[in-house]
Amino acid sequence: MIDLIKKLPKAELHLHIEGSLEPELMFRLAKKNNIDIPYKDIEDVRNAYNFTNLQTFLDIYYAGANVLITKDDFYDLTWEYILKCVEDNVIHTEIFFDPQTHTARGIAFETVITGIKEALADAKERYGITSGIIMCFLRHLSQQDAFDTLEEAMAFKEDIIGVGLDSSELGNPPSKFTEVFEKAKEAGFKLVAHAGEEGDFSYIYEALDLLGIDRIDHGVQSIHSDTLMQRLKEEQIPLTVCPNSNIELKVFEDYKAHNIKELLDYGLNVSVNSDDPAYFKGYINQNFINLCDNLPLTENDIVTLVKNSFRSSFIDDDLKQAYLAKVDHVLQ
């Protein structure tokens, strides 16, 4: 099974670039930029990655992002992730970034997007990896703040394929952002939102019905509503599931308790993704391996999960078909 996981080309659809900041790079950038970090060494950092819920993770994740200052820092961050894609056979990736985390610290939107964009362009040239950039609004901040961010993003519209919604879910339902998502849709952006990670299934309904999203990020709480499950199946709404994240943030007690196999067997369009791999102990292949070690996933299931990642991506139909054919080719 591990061989199959490694050799299948994959798409990743749920990856926060700030969450791919490995402790080694965090230290290097902290030193270079003269930023204080509350850790004495790499081991100390890893020991701090002991989360009890989403918020305990977010506090540490936002603190880590403080070391990112220059365009080159964002380039290096993205390039290191690309090298992991090469290792794990990810041939297409749609990455999230959180502009407000940086603009609130006085880092220009342009600095952030240019560093990411240049690394992704080099990834295409050097490795043929295709990609898209999705900017996420921080849901613990106001809708007005999201509107301001959307306005700033308009100058870089060509570089951004979609908008998303992340950060502290509980108490910040999708309904808080209805108008700004409407405006983003009018501007031609694809729409995604984190929903049903810690929040209950009503957040998924809101993301679908009030925000009009194309994809749900996480969505594992849909299992608690038969009606919603039927709808997700009928409409084949993609759910970008992140197993390691769900275990590290205690959404499920352990891998054996994860519901991805049930979602898949029901006929939902689920894929496997790494979310914040530097914080959650591994990149995409490790997510697949942890699932296979603990759940009765078949080879067919693995192939379906991988094909779903391409089907649910925002690439055009021709490339989608070409990528799906690549998967089939590996299986021959």
Interface ranges with ligand HPA (CB under 6 A): 16, 19, 54, 61, 166-167, 194, 197, 245, 275-276
Helix (H, G, I), strand (E, B) or coil at 167: coil
**H and E: helices and strands count for the chain:** 16, 8
Cα 251 from chain centroid (whole Å): 16
Determine whether the annotation assigns residue 16 to a binding site: yes
CA distances from 80 to 37, 127, 172, 211 (A): 21, 13, 32, 33
**Residue 156 Cα distances to 79, 190, 254, 284, 322, angstroms:** 20, 15, 41, 29, 28
Identify the burial level of 55 via C-beta atoms within 10 angstroms of its C-beta, where 0-12 means exposed, 13-18 middle and 19 or more buried: middle
Q: Which residue do the tokens 């994860």 mark?
A: 258
Residue ranges of E strands in 281-329: none
Which of ligand HPA, Zn ion, none has residue 197 at its interface (CB below 5 to 8 Å by kind)? Answer: ligand HPA
The answer to whether the beta carbons of residues 237 and 216 sit under 8 Å apart is: yes
For residue 152, the cross-strand partners are none
- How many other β-carbons are positioned within 10 Å of the β-carbon of residue 313? 23
Report the partner that residue 54 touches, choosing among ligand HPA, Zn ion, none (CB closer than 5 to 8 A by kind): ligand HPA
The three-class DSSP label of residue 301 is helix
Residue 19, binding choice from Zn ion, ligand HPA, none, Cβ under 5 to 8 Å by partner class: ligand HPA
CB of 222 within 8 A of CB of 194? no
Contact 49, 305 (CB under 8 A): no
Minimum CB–partner distance for residue 16 and Zn ion (Å): 6
- The one of Zn ion, ligand HPA, none whose footprint includes residue 94, by CB under 5 to 8 A per kind, is none
Is 276 a known ligand-binding residue?
A: yes
Look up 248 and say whether it is catalytic: no
Q: Cβ 213 to Zn ion, closest distance in Å?
A: 14
* Rounded least distance, CB 332 to ligand HPA, Å: 36
Compare residues 85 and 192 and give the one whose CB is closer to Zn ion. Answer: 192
Binder of residue 12, out of ligand HPA, Zn ion, none (CB less than 5 to 8 A by kind): none
To ligand HPA, the closest distance from the beta carbon of 273 in angstroms equals 10
The residues binding Zn ion (CB under 5 A) are 275
Listed residue (187, 185, 93, 193) closest to 136, CA to CA: 193
Whether 210 contacts 174, CB under 8 Å: yes
Smallest distance, ligand HPA to C-beta of residue 276, A: 5
Does the annotation flag 329 for ligand binding? no
- Given the residues 18, 22, 197, 198, select the one marked as catalytic: 197
Give the residue ranges of the annotated binding site for Zn(2+): 14, 16, 194, 275
Give the residue ranges of the annotated binding site for substrate: 276
Give the residue ranges of the annotated binding site: 14, 16, 194, 275-276
The residues annotated as belonging to the active site are: 197
